[in-house]
Homo-oligomer: A and B are copies of this chain.
């Protein structure tokens, strides 16, 4: 659906315009106060002739010209007739504030369905229902229903939110400047994904900030994310639903079904989407990208402080957040040592002392020297900016940053305060003008810095998830033999195996496999083979094999009387190694997701697994393994084996390709364990569940 008339209308009608408090009055007041002009605005209210001194129309029909956009401030029961009336005016967009739709149960859902059907038929893109409107700061249109402080907010952040209150939070945030704000509400025929695509494509938008409760068009979402990733346009997302409670709340708030939360987060990771976990992070990450003149080329930072105590605090925080402290070259250190008093020591964090902090030109020299150092990628000045300047150090330091940033070659600079105030506007404006993000305090500031550094150095490999082409209902499990054969037929290496229906056949097949062998029951109906006495290991010769065949068959007949037994599965005993697990879970929206983790109870307890959409490139698979907290166990930890990680990576890639190809076939795959040794990575067991349609 074309969003042009909705988001960039040439003519606008506010229906239910008023002078009274409430949606109608507040929207009218806001529009008149904050929009660039009201020439092409029509106020509609059947009971008024003028509103705030402007002509009021009694109905949409009374308006002479076409109306691109209607803003409906009226109750739910008026919406359908108003849309029909608007369509007569060639309307292509409508903002619907009314609630009582998808968020309130079956009846409301029915109403929403009816609304979508009508709007689709009339070709009207609807924002909402149950939303708070939007503003387009580029074209000077302010159609938002909540009252806000009067100040200039034009900038380059495009914000979308399923909560109007959270848009208000953005508007209230002192460091945020916007291209567009959009409160999408229930997102009926225009979805969060559509707005996202709009903002990713929009040249006036440098950063996208989004509050998301759920998405419904996976294909569109990943297309938008991919476009953003290729353009290196930062997308900052706050997604609720990490807890069961917030999933429940989202359902009753905008009727969003948040789907598999972990899956969406894995999708975010694939596309370098920057995740925020509260509003302060959403705003501060976005504002930082918005202000930042250019992304750093690497992650090595030098912190500049004016206090030994604060330098110590920064050192601990940098360590905690994994921010790399640059090791400056000796030349740089020697030079800096000439700038500080004898008692000062040149370290990182660098306690500049009064020798530098109170002296603008000296600080400029210090920054330039640090910036020139090839071991440094960014500079972080850490000092509190108070709301008034009663300490001239601030002014000196801000001035120094501004002057130093005037040098085109200067590496990126960030500023982190220690105590939160609304910061002195003059200082903040100077930093903004110089392209220096003014981050929030301590922990929040370091969180933002780390996200920016990670985003800056991340290399994006376009690799779209294998989104299923249709929905599936039923499924069934394959036996281990069948599962492994399926893998093998689809390019995944497996160890030799054979099935035998009789003891004689087992002995025959064993000749090719060689002893010692593992022998397991072969049956689709038995998944927990050990539990029914269906597994014997280390079978050394023919005699033992014959005996084992009988034992296993007898055990299973007794312990699983209803299972159809097809014989036994024979495999050479594998060399044990570090045990890993690899899983595939086919998400109905985003397709097969690959999971990898170390085997055993500890890892489950510590939730140390990585998840990513299939297919994977080698470097993506490698990254997953390296991000495991238990990764050192593959790497010769405490005298253990140095495992063949490349074999594991290759195996992961093959499995991911198999899963992607099988996006409408493979429902689940559980490989547990994979033995990783010095010599390779071998699948020891597998269970595949496939769709039956």
A interface vs B, CB < 8 Å?
99-100, 103-104, 108, 146-149, 161-166, 168-169, 172-174, 211, 213, 238, 240-243, 245-246, 248-250, 252-254, 277-281, 283, 306-313, 315-320, 325, 342-343, 345, 347-349, 351, 384, 386-388, 390-391, 418-422, 440-444, 598, 600-606, 608, 629-630, 632-633, 637-638, 640
Contacts and interface: CB of A to CB of B under 8 A. Distances in A.
B343 A103 contact: yes
B172 A347 contact: no
A183 to B, nearest CB: 10
Contacts of A318: 243, 245
A239 to B, nearest CB: 9
A629 B602 CA distance: 9
A17 to B, nearest CB: 20
B601 A277 contact: no
A59 B237 CA distance: 65
Nearest to A350: B249
A163 B146 CA distance: 45
Given A249-B349, A278-B418, A347-B252, A213 B149 contact: no
Given A280-B418, A387-B422, A312 B249 contact: yes
18 contacts: A161-B309, A163-B307, A163-B310, A164-B307, A174-B421, A213-B309, A241-B312, A242-B316, A249-B308, A249-B349, A278-B313, A278-B418, A280-B441, A421-B422, A443-B443, A601-B637, A601-B638, A605-B637
B277 A443 contact: yes
Given A249-B347, A312-B250, A165 B307 contact: yes
Top 10 closest A-B pairs, CB basis? Answer: A163-B309, A253-B308, A165-B307, A278-B442, A243-B319, A240-B312, A246-B315, A602-B602, A245-B315, A279-B418
B633 A246 contact: no
Nearest to A249: B312
Contact of A252 (B147, B242, B308): B308
Contact of A281 (B391, B440, B442): B442
The winner among A166, A168, A308, A633 for most chain B CB atoms within 10 A is A308
Given A103-B343, A277-B443, A443-B281, A173 B308 contact: no
B419 A316 contact: no
Contact of A278 (B149, B162, B441, B603): B441
Given A165-B306, A249-B315, A441 B174 contact: no
A149 B441 contact: no
Nearest to A342: B104
Instruction: Count copies of this chain in the complex.
Output: 2
Contacts of A238: 313
A439 to B, nearest CB: 12
Contact of A420 (B280, B343, B386): B280
The winner among A99, A103, A243, A638 for most chain B CB atoms within 10 A is A243
A603 B605 contact: no
Given A387-B422, A602-B630, A309 B351 contact: no
Contacts of A419: 169, 172-173, 279-280, 283
Contacts of A147: 390-391
Given A280-B442, A443-B444, A605-B633, 9 more contacts: A148-B391, A163-B310, A243-B318, A243-B320, A246-B313, A249-B312, A252-B308, A279-B442, A602-B603
Nearest to A239: B316
Contacts of A632: 605
A443 B278 contact: yes
A101 to B, nearest CB: 9
A317 B278 contact: yes
The winner among A325, A391, A604 for most chain B CB atoms within 10 A is A391
Given A163-B308, A310-B163, A633-B601, A248 B347 contact: yes
Contacts of A390: 147-149
The winner among A242, A278, A345 for most chain B CB atoms within 10 A is A278
A312 B161 CA distance: 13
Contact of A253 (B104, B213, B312, B637): B312
Given A172-B421, A443-B277, A310 B149 contact: no
A148 B166 CA distance: 35
Nearest to A163: B309
A308 B254 contact: yes
Contacts of A99: 343
A272 B173 CA distance: 36
Contacts of A163: 307-310, 312
Contacts of A637: 601, 605
A408 to B, nearest CB: 32
A161 B310 CA distance: 11
Given A146-B391, A315-B246, A320-B242, A253 B442 contact: no
A307 B132 CA distance: 12
Nearest to A607: B629
A28 B72 CA distance: 64
The winner among A165, A277, A384, A603 for most chain B CB atoms within 10 A is A165
B240 A315 contact: yes
Nearest to A344: B252
Contacts of A342: 104
A250 B249 CA distance: 47
Contacts of A441: 278-280
A162 B384 CA distance: 18
A33 B413 CA distance: 37
Given A172-B419, A441-B279, A343 B100 contact: yes
Contacts of A349: 245, 249
Contacts of A103: 308, 343
Given A147-B391, A278-B418, A278-B441, A310 B165 contact: yes
A630 B319 CA distance: 25
B606 A629 contact: yes
A306 B169 CA distance: 12
A346 to B, nearest CB: 10
